[in-house]
Amino acid sequence: MRALRIALIASSRYPVIQPFAGGLEAHVWHLAAALRKAGHDVTLFAGPGSDPELACELIDVRPAPISTAARSDISMPAEHFMQEHHAYLDLMLRLSRDYAESFDVIHNHSLHYLPVAMTSTLNTPVLTTLHTPPTPWLESAIAAGGSPGRFAAVSRYTAEAWRHAAGDVDVVHNGVDTDQWHQGPGGHRLIWFGRIVPEKGAHHAITAARAAGMPLVLAGPVSDHAYFRERIEPELDGTIRYLGHLVTDDLVSAVGMSAVALVTPQWDEPYGLVVAEALACGTPVVAYGRGGIPEILTPDCGRLVPADDVIALTAAIGDAMQLARPSARVRAVSHCSERRMVDRYLELYDEIACASTTTRRASL
């Protein structure tokens, strides 16, 4: 395949750098690195503090230049909303004005409505990956955008959820670097990892671990400090331990040294990246069967249980501990690898870039 000039648009809310604030930041970082390694020219537009090794262009999130009189108006939205709106408006105008012929394709991961609403102002074709369930602002942007570009979703579940707004949506499952996320030896403890927020359900993992009589470690950024203080911190002792917000290599080691990973979402996960990461380490998974998770987890590498059923979650731990760790690893390599994801995205990039070139030539 020919070398492509690719622009990636990240979310501005968190920097794209280790230790990652969440799965979206990890996904964009790994995609940018993998595309560059494959010989493509990649420009990443990301928020302040992002990894300098990725040669990022800044999404300039700063106080919006709004007068005191305008701020005092009853219609003034929250400050963070205006900052994001101004940052993405500035970015899209720059892409239209300063980068008009710089890229073969723009790949949007931002979650913000303006890159979709303003796609028709660009000379470059845009692919937007849908990482979340439908949101009102993004649905409105699709409806109003005229030519909102092409869409991909991180799971069949998410593609179906967006069908009413975005039509036929390509599916590209998120991938993990199965070289970095290597198989570990296992151990005699459970692990839960991810953003520590109520919707990820770490408190369910604690309840299940205590009922199963097994130690549990937790890892990840504390994104909701009140939740951590009220629901997690009081439970920490010699059996339930919080390892902190780990860089990837340390997290790989922690997951690989665990017997089973517990995945306990309180919402319908669009994909479930932590499932793929655990399997890549050879660690079987017990998970609530919500959202896109059933597309990843099969009986030879884990157990699905009904949502919010802590009793079933506890009961499945023993079964999962009997599963062969190499089977979990094989599932990750065959279904969840970064290489598989990148190859599929490159197919889409080439397809939409060629279609855009053909359309422009026909209009001359």
- Tell me the pLDDT tens digit for each residue of 155-174: 999 999 999 999 999 999 99
Same domain, 12 and 156: yes
Same domain, 351 and 241: no
E strands, the chain, in order: 5-9, 41-46, 57-58, 105-108, 126-130, 150-153, 170-171, 190-193, 216-219, 240-244, 260-263, 285-288, 302-305
Q: Can you give the pLDDT at residue 35?
A: 95
Residue 312 lies in a domain: yes
Domains: count for the chain: 2
Distances (CA, A) of 180 to 149, 262, 338: 33, 21, 11
Residue 156 lies in a domain: yes
Alpha helix positions (H), 195-272: 202-212, 225-227, 248-256
Q: Is 28 exposed, middle or buried (0-12, 13-18, 19+ CB in 10 A)?
A: buried
Q: Give the angle 45-83-8 at the CA atoms, nearest 5°.
A: 15
Same domain, 309 and 222: yes
Residue 185 lies in a domain: no
Q: Can you give the pLDDT at residue 145?
A: 65
CB atoms < 10 A from the CB of 198, how many?
15
Same domain, 44 and 78: yes
Same domain, 344 and 277: no
CA–centroid distance for 359 within its chain: 32
Same domain, 113 and 155: yes
If DSSP codes are grouped into helix, strand and coil, which group holds residue 190? strand
Q: What's the CA gap between 266 and 288, in Å, rounded?
A: 9
Same domain, 296 and 158: no
Residue of 209, 202, 199 whose CA lies nearest to 313: 209
Amino acid at 205: A
Same domain, 352 and 292: no
| Whether the Cβ atoms of residue 1 and residue 345 lie closer than 8 Å to each other | no
Range of the domain at 289: 190-335
Residue of 336, 327, 310, 339 whose CA lies nearest to 186: 327
Same domain, 199 and 153: no
Q: Specify the DSSP element, H or E, that contains 277.
A: helix 273-280
Residue 130 lies in a domain: yes
Contacts (Cβ under 8 Å, ≥6 apart) of 109: 8, 9, 10, 11, 24, 27, 28, 128, 129, 131
Per this entry, what is the length of the chain?
A: 364
| DSSP per residue, 29-54 | HHHHHHHHHTT-EEEEEE-TT--GGG
Q: Can you give the pLDDT at residue 96?
A: 93
Same domain, 121 and 199: no
- Tell me the pLDDT tens digit for each residue of 52-97: 888 788 888 888 788 999 989 999 889 888 889 999 999 999 999 9
Same domain, 266 and 344: no
Same domain, 218 and 87: no
Q: Can you give the pLDDT at residue 360?
A: 56
Q: Give the angle 245-248-253 at the CA atoms, nearest 5°.
A: 95
> What pTM was computed for the model?
0.90
Residue 132 lies in a domain: yes
Residue 184 lies in a domain: no
Q: Can you give the pLDDT at residue 356?
A: 66
Q: What's the CA gap between 293 and 11, in Å, rounded?
A: 23
Residue 223 lies in a domain: yes
Residue 180 lies in a domain: no
The CATH number of whichever domain residue 228 belongs to comes to 3.40.50.2000
Residues of the chain with pLDDT under 70: 1, 145, 356-364
Residue of 354, 355, 336 whose CA lies nearest to 23: 336
